[in-house]
Chain A
Amino acid sequence: MSFINIFKSDARRRTTLFAGHVVPDSSRCVQCGICSYNCPIGIDVRAHAWRDEAINHSECLTCGECVARCPRGVLRFDRTDLFAKDAQ
């Protein structure tokens, strides 16, 4: 299996859909853009990572594509209470 296929199968291996946010750790991020490139609905995940802000985007499916594809472990799921935050 080539390196590239290893990365792809990693992305496929994830199974769970989470209820929560995708949260970046900007100190790990090098702004490569793999997250934004792979977001199925075109959210600029990278811009959130630059600002160190959760992907608090109404259209985010929390599908996990960005989390799985990021080569540096910048992104993770956080089970924050989406509705409580939105209400603030």
Chain B
Amino acid sequence: MRYAIIGTGAAGFASIEAIRSLDKSGEIFMLGDDPHGFYSRPGLAYFLTGELADKSLFPKTREDYARLNFTYQKARVTKINRAEKFLLLDGKTPLPYDKLLIATGASALPLTIPGANFQGVVKLDHLEDARGILSFAKRGKTAVVVGGGITALELTEGLLARGVKVHYLLRGDRYWSNVLDEHESRIVEARLQEEGVTLHFHSELTEVIGKGGKVGGVRLLNGKTIKCDILAYAIGIKPRAELAQDAELALDRGILVNEFLQTNDPDIYSAGDVAQVYDPITGRSVLDSLWSPARDQGRVAGLNMAGQRKSYIKSAPFNVTRLAGLTTTIIGAVGHGRDEDIVGIARGDSETWRQLPDAIVAQGGFDINRVRILVGEKILIGAVVMGDQTLSAPLQKIIAQKVDITSVRDKLLARDAKIADVIVDFWSKHAAVA
């Protein structure tokens, strides 16, 4: 049996561990076009701020690789030939497969305005991107950041930490409007301003201006110009589904897979950021761009590829992140609608967060410590925890396990409810019984 894995990310690596747990002798090939192989992409944000050295981004040791006994090949897969079951590497070398996993991830949506190819226009997908940013980000320089979601702020924080002055452009009137509520957006914006970031609302970029192919500034729709040396963008991501599209696999926004992570070709599986995964519980197929689901999907795909029939059950998507230095956990469904700063989804993001059905909001806390919960009929369907993270783990479990909260629902929705106390009390009793 020969397994081929396209992609060296969390999904690809987890699939190999799973295959090896069942099949000790099959041949496994891992193919990737990132020169650095498997590393923590979310960790790139901390590399930018200087909290981490780049060599620390690599989770696996030589022994880990040896133990899994697979062949890693740095190559770009340029074609999947389904009829004869082989891949083409770098347009020339064929590699036959029996079972294939497409775990090609997602890449940043490109900026398409004039001047977008100038030196100094940057994004944050790969380690090489991060290194490139650091080579431009010298004290005394000025950057303009456009886009939204987590990555736009990671770029902002990384640049600030390197002494760069930052202008952040927002198209609408607040930050991340379809995930955060207005109060949360304002908290983040105020903190950015305290850090010296200049926010420009209702601002749309039309052109990068510069000399000799280098960024010198940007022009906005309202005619204004801002001088800068760097333009960093994070306007959304797109699953890297071109290979699958070429091979005529079923696609929607990503590669469509069933609960066994199988595409419409029974020998081809897909997992991670590139896969749009069927959720048997909601009947929906959704995209996530989250590390933990990518790893879980890779694992379940690997088990199925090696012959064990196993369903992937989607858990309430969540992320713990820092927004303007404030630790924030986002769990389940918390918002809806469109955000003008992102097309589709961004990094560290889930479509589910914007699929908020009818729910009542309860919120508590002030200043920077804030919790917002979305209260359904019998369960909690989402939460945003900002600042103090005491409630983050209990809420994650209450939401993921769909714990019946009927007994405290009225208390949570009471005027001036002390939500944190109610949740902590409820959870300690629940955990004691469970």
Docked CA distance A20–B40 (Å): 28
B265 at the interface (CB under 8 A from A): no
CB of B325 within 8 A of CB of A73, answer: no
4 pairs of A and B residues whose beta carbons are closest in the complex: A32-B43, A30-B42, A72-B320, A3-B325
> Which among B46, B61, B329 is the interface contact of A32 at CB below 8 angstroms?
B46
On chain B, which size bracket covers the interface?
20 to 34
Known: A3-B195, A73-B329. 12 other contacts (CB 8 A): A3-B324, A25-B393, A28-B396, A30-B40, A31-B40, A31-B42, A31-B291, A32-B46, A32-B52, A34-B46, A34-B52, A71-B322
CB of B325 within 8 A of CB of A6, answer: yes
> Which among B57, B327, B393, B396 is the interface contact of A33 at CB below 8 angstroms?
B57
Most A C-beta atoms less than 10 A away, residue of B56, B61, B396? B56
Most B C-beta atoms less than 10 A away, residue of A25, A30, A73? A30
CB of A27 within 8 A of CB of B292, answer: yes
- Would you list 23 pairs from A and B whose C-beta atoms are within 8 A, ordered by A residue? A2-B161, A3-B49, A3-B160, A3-B322, A3-B324, A27-B396, A28-B292, A29-B291, A30-B41, A31-B40, A32-B43, A32-B46, A33-B43, A33-B56, A33-B58, A34-B43, A34-B51, A37-B51, A37-B52, A46-B59, A47-B59, A71-B322, A73-B329
Say whether chain A's binding surface is mostly helix, strand, loop, or mixed.
helix
Report how many residues on chain A are interfacial, defined by Cβ distance under 8 Å.
Answer: 24
B107 at the interface (CB under 8 A from A): no
In the complex, which residues of chain A have a beta carbon less than 8 angstroms from the beta carbon of B329? Answer: 73
Docked CA distance A17–B195 (Å): 33
Chain A nearest CB, measured from B159 CB (Å): 11
In the complex, which residues of chain B have a beta carbon less than 8 angstroms from the beta carbon of A47? Answer: 59, 61
**Can you name the residue of chain A whose Cβ is closest to the Cβ of B325?**
A3
Point out residues on A near B: beta carbons under 8 Å.
2-4, 6-7, 25, 27-34, 36-37, 44, 46-47, 50, 69, 71-73
Chain B nearest CB, measured from A32 CB (Å): 3
In the complex, which residues of chain B have a beta carbon less than 8 angstroms from the beta carbon of A50? Answer: 59
**Can you name the residue of chain A whose Cβ is closest to the Cβ of B57?**
A33
> Which among B50, B56, B292, B324 is the interface contact of A36 at CB below 8 angstroms?
B56
In the complex, which residues of chain B have a beta carbon less than 8 angstroms from the beta carbon of A73? Answer: 320, 327, 329, 389, 392-393
In the complex, which residues of chain A have a beta carbon less than 8 angstroms from the beta carbon of B43? Answer: 30-34
Chain B nearest CB, measured from A42 CB (Å): 12
In the complex, which residues of chain B have a beta carbon less than 8 angstroms from the beta carbon of A25? Answer: 393
B53 at the interface (CB under 8 A from A): yes
B189 at the interface (CB under 8 A from A): no
- Near A by CB (< 8 A), chain B positions 57-106 give 57-59, 61
CB of B42 within 8 A of CB of A32, answer: yes
CB of A3 within 8 A of CB of B157, answer: yes
In the complex, which residues of chain A have a beta carbon less than 8 angstroms from the beta carbon of B10? Answer: 31
Chain B nearest CB, measured from A44 CB (Å): 8
Chain A nearest CB, measured from B347 CB (Å): 11
Docked CA distance A7–B327 (Å): 10
CB of A33 within 8 A of CB of B52, answer: yes
Docked CA distance A25–B400 (Å): 14
**Can you name the residue of chain A whose Cβ is closest to the Cβ of B59?**
A31
Docked CA distance A82–B197 (Å): 48
